[in-house]
Structure formats: C-alpha cells, structure tokens
Structure 1
Amino acid sequence: MIRTILFSLILSSVFTGCNYFEKPTEENVVARVNDNYLYLSEVESLVPENSSKEDSILIVNNYINRWATQKLLIEQAKINLSPDKLQQFDKLVEEYKNDLLTESYKGAVVSKQIDSVITEEDYRIYYASNIDNFRLKDLLVKLRYIHLPPEYDGVQEVKQKLSRYDKKDKKSLTTENYRFVSSNFNDSVWIKKQMLLNVLPVLKGINEQVLKKSNFVQLQDSLGVYLVKIEDVLNPNDTPPLPYIKPTLKQIILNKRKLELIKKFEADITKDAIETKNFEIYTNE
C-alpha cells in the first residue's frame, strides 16, 4: 500500500512544475538527473507507515531534491576539477575501500579466533610488568558516609556506629529505620575525588588535608549534617590498585592479543600465497 501511495504522491505532487524528466525510462523511476536515475525502491522506505499525506510528500520531496543537488554537484565537479585532482580522489576512494574491506575481513577472522578469557594470573603478570605506566592522575578515596536531615535527633549515636562500624553497627545502620537523606556504606570501592565532590558538594569548601586515611569528618550546611569516614586514600602519582584498573587492563590485554593475531594472520596469508604461487616478486637483474 505504501508503494502505491508513494508513487501517487511523487507523480501528483512532487514533480508538479518540476521538469525532472519527461518520460521515465522504467515504471519505477521517480527522478532523473542527466543519466542518473532514482528509483521508487530507494525512496519508498523513507516514509513511515503512519505518515500523513503532507508529511509523506515533504519527506520524499526533500530527499529527491537532495539527491538531485548532489548528482548535479558531482557532475559539475567532474567537469571543473583538474584531471590530477580527480585522479587523486579516485585513488583515495580506492584506498579507503581497500582499507574497509581488509580491516573488516581481519576483524571477522580475529573475532572468531581471539581468546577473550583473561585469568587473574594474566592480570597480575601484565600489571606487574607495566606498573609504572599506570600512575594515578586523580586522588582516589574509599569512604562511607551518611547525610542526615537538619536538626536530626541522634547524631552522636549514628556517628559512633559509622565510625566504629563493627558487625552489629553495619546491621543496625543498614536495616533499622533511620531517616537518612542519603548514605553509602560500600567502603571497598575507590572513588575519584571529583565524583566524591559531586555526590557531597559540602566537601568542596574544606581543606584537602581532611581527606586523609582513617579521618572522620562531621560537616553541616543548610541541607543537613554529613558524617564521613575516610577508609583509605591514594594520591596522584601513586600506584593504582589492581582491581581499580582491571577494566583498563582488560581492554589493553585484548587489544594486544588482537594485534598479535592480526600480525600472524597477515604473515600466514602471505606465506600461503607464496607457497601456492599466487604471490611472486619479480626481480630485474
């Protein structure tokens, strides 16, 4: 149905007053620019099924005009640009096409052969061998915190539990019905300083010396009381812990394996071509 509507729209509306062509060479031709033809099959998928007649006309008309303009510009470029420039473009297009073909093929072959399993030993070996390449650029913090509403009754009790944080305290803080505005008790995860400041803007105004290992900080603003227990800190230029950079190491290791497979594949395909006499180098001696 959409095919019939489109063809009707094109014939009745799009070309009214537009001399795209006098006689279509085929039934399914909808536009012509010199020897270039645009076919119905190329435009019928442009219009969504539920489009109104007006929207359909606009979509098709815009596409046809863009198509025609591009074809006209290309033809004028071929006439007005120098032969050397056109030859240069042809060469670039051919090189780009070749790159697309070869890279796509190598990628398909490698994706079937690559070992994507990375063991803990793989991580440790690469980490130990390249540790100097992974110095931190940002301050990292492990912490837990609680944001209490203003005038909270029982700050000292919560503060004591968050600081001591034994098994009983953990259960109490995470299961009892405290009125926390927000909280974080996962103090095993490293957080970048900027992310921390985004979560707790109240820290922006304090001395950075407060962000020290084992420090406990109590702050207050118009939004409430903040209790922050710093578990650990790593400074810029420190060595990052292995768990923190595992995602980065994973990509590096996989890319290294991929490059090694590509290099081997290229060598093998060339060797096979030589052995089967499909590749020969002629010397002029």
Structure 2
Amino acid sequence: MKITYAIILLNLFLITSCEDLSNSSKNYLIARVDNNYLYLSDLDKLNLKFTSISDSIIQTQNYINTWAKKYILYDRSLQNIEEYDKNKLNDLIRQYELDLYNNSYKSSLIKAKIDTLITKKQISDYYQSNSFIFKLKEPLYKYRYIEFPKNNIDRNEITKRFISYSHQDKYFLDSLTFQFSNSFLNDSIWFSKKAVLKNVKFLNSKNLLSIKKSEIFEVEETIQVYLFKIENYLPKNEIAPLSFVENTIRNIVFNQRKLKFLKNFDQELINDAIQNKKFEIYN
C-alpha cells in the first residue's frame, strides 16, 4: 500500500512539475472522502513549490491527509453531536453567512457611494469647531538630530552648521547624510514623546522632559557623537496643532459620512422592502 501511494504521489509530482497542464490532467482525481472529491486542479490552486521529488511527496501527502481529516471529522461530528447542539451551530453558521454577505455588500457600497475626498477647508472647519477634543495626552516636539562617528573629519563643521542651521547649512548637512549613522533634519514636523524617544538613542523619558526649547545638546559616547535640538515644544493638555491631528480628523469626517450613509441606507432598505411587499410585520 505504501509503495502504491508513493507511486501515486510521484506521478502527481511529475504532473504538477509541468508548467502547461491540460484540462484532463487538472481533473485528475486524487482522493475521496464519501461524496467529497479532491482533484489535481485543487492542488494546482495552492501553488505548492517543490524542491525535490521527496519534498513533493511529503507536502502532497500532508495536504491530502489534512484535507481528508477535515471531512472525516465533520462526518463524525454530524453523527455524534446532539440535535439541539446541531441546531445551535446551524444558527451560528447561518448568522455568520448573513454577516459575511451583508458586510461585503455594504463595504462595496461605501467604496462606490461615499465621497472620500475631504478638503483642507473641511478639515480646518472641523478642527476650529472641535479643537477642545484634541487635548494632548503627552508632550509634542519639533526637533532635529544627527548621530555620526566621533572620528568624522567634518565633525567641527557639522556641529557648526547644525547650530546655525540656515538654508545653506541644511543643504550642506543633507549632502553629508551618507556619513551619518542616523539623522532627522526636518524640524517643522511635530512628534510625540514616544516617537522622539524611539528615534533618539541617547535620550530617556527623564532627560527629555528636562530639555528646554532651543537648547542644543552635543553628547559624546565611546564611538558616536549625538547632536540634538528641540525647535519647539507643546506640553501635555495643550490643544494639538492641526498638522498633528489632520489625519485623525480626516478619518473622523469620513466615518461620520459613512455612519450617515449607512443610517439612510438601512432606512431606505426597509422602506423599499415594505413598498415591494418583501417585508411585512404581522399584528
């Protein structure tokens, strides 16, 4: 039996190794559990990659056995589960099926019907009317940062340019980024405390809070030098700047549109079903 099985699997490997499978080959019957059939075309959909004949035999045998166990166990469960429990399971299956179809249909409607374009003005208007809900739960920082080997021959010039930071200085530093171990020079973007601590190695929660705005740090370790400056700072409980919450507002506005659409859709769905005699409530 094992020899015959191995020959079958070897034949499968030879068939599936051919790039151009004919329809007759794809309909090759591999296995059966009662009235459930496994064809070569089912294996073909899996895009199994075989490195050798032995690998093909192992992978194919594992898949066939897994496929068979599902149906054998399902058949046994039908025979042994109490009728009451079967009915509960069937109710769950039916509810799950309804939810899958309904949610899939609603998702397609949302993509097709809801305007996803949210203008800068709409975002700004929402922010102006609801800024009180955007109180910061942690401080925000604008900063710039460079990390480089302390034996860098341009160290003094890099430090000088980092401090003065004119347009020409920024251009100069940008041209040297290949020399830096790490850097961030766009100090017009707000970052949370967590993000700053993640990006700047020498900082910890305590010393970050002690750094004052516009204070420049030069920290030297065994092999690295760190240059760091906080360009701006907003403490906890301040109102977050619009640029920091813009994406959040965009999501809020879109979700409001979605909820409004779904509410109207649900009502129209009921009204349409009543009008077309598909839905009735009996007294």
Q: Conserved in 2, the CA contact under 8 Å of 1:47 and 1:59? A: no
- Aligned CA distance change for structure 1 residues 87 and 11 (closer, same or farther; 3 Å): farther
* Residue 9 of structure 1 pairs with residue 8 of structure 2: yes
Residue aligning to 2:116: 116
Query: What does 1:258-269 align with in structure 2 at a 5 Å threshold?
Result: 258-269=258-269
The SS at the match of 1:130 is helix
- For 1:178 and 1:42, the matched residues in 2 are separated by 51
- For 1:209 and 1:107, the matched residues in 2 are separated by 45
- For 2:276 and 2:148, the matched residues in 1 are separated by 77
TM-score, normalised by the number of residues in structure 2:
0.79
Residue aligning to 2:4: none
Residue aligning to 1:86: 86
Q: Conserved in 2, the CA contact under 8 Å of 1:110 and 1:258? A: yes
Gaps spanning 5+ residues in structure 1: where?
1-7, 15-26
Residue aligning to 1:102: 102
Query: What does 1:186-201 align with in structure 2 at a 5 Å threshold?
Result: 186-201=186-201
Single out whichever of 156-165 and 142-151 deviates more from structure 2: 156-165
Residue aligning to 2:72: 72
Gaps spanning 5+ residues in structure 2: where?
1-6, 14-26
Cα drift, residue 85 of structure 1: 0.7
The SS at the match of 1:141 is strand
Q: Conserved in 1, the CA contact under 8 Å of 2:177 and 2:183? A: no
Cα drift, residue 93 of structure 1: 0.4
Single out whichever of 252-261 and 93-102 deviates more from structure 2: 252-261
Residue aligning to 2:16: none
- Aligned CA distance change for structure 1 residues 173 and 270 (closer, same or farther; 3 Å): same
How many residue pairs get aligned? The number is 266
Cα drift, residue 254 of structure 1: 1.6
Q: What fraction of aligned residue pairs are identical, expressed as a percent?
A: 34
Q: Conserved in 2, the CA contact under 8 Å of 1:33 and 1:68? A: yes
> CA RMSD, aligned part only?
3.3
- For 2:281 and 2:122, the matched residues in 1 are separated by 41
Single out whichever of 46-55 and 209-218 deviates more from structure 2: 46-55
- For 2:165 and 2:237, the matched residues in 1 are separated by 30
Cα drift, residue 197 of structure 1: 2.8
Amino acid at match of 1:144: R
> Structure 1, residues 250-273: CA drift from partner, whole Å, max 9, x if none?
222222212221221121122122
TM-score, normalised by the number of residues in structure 1:
0.78
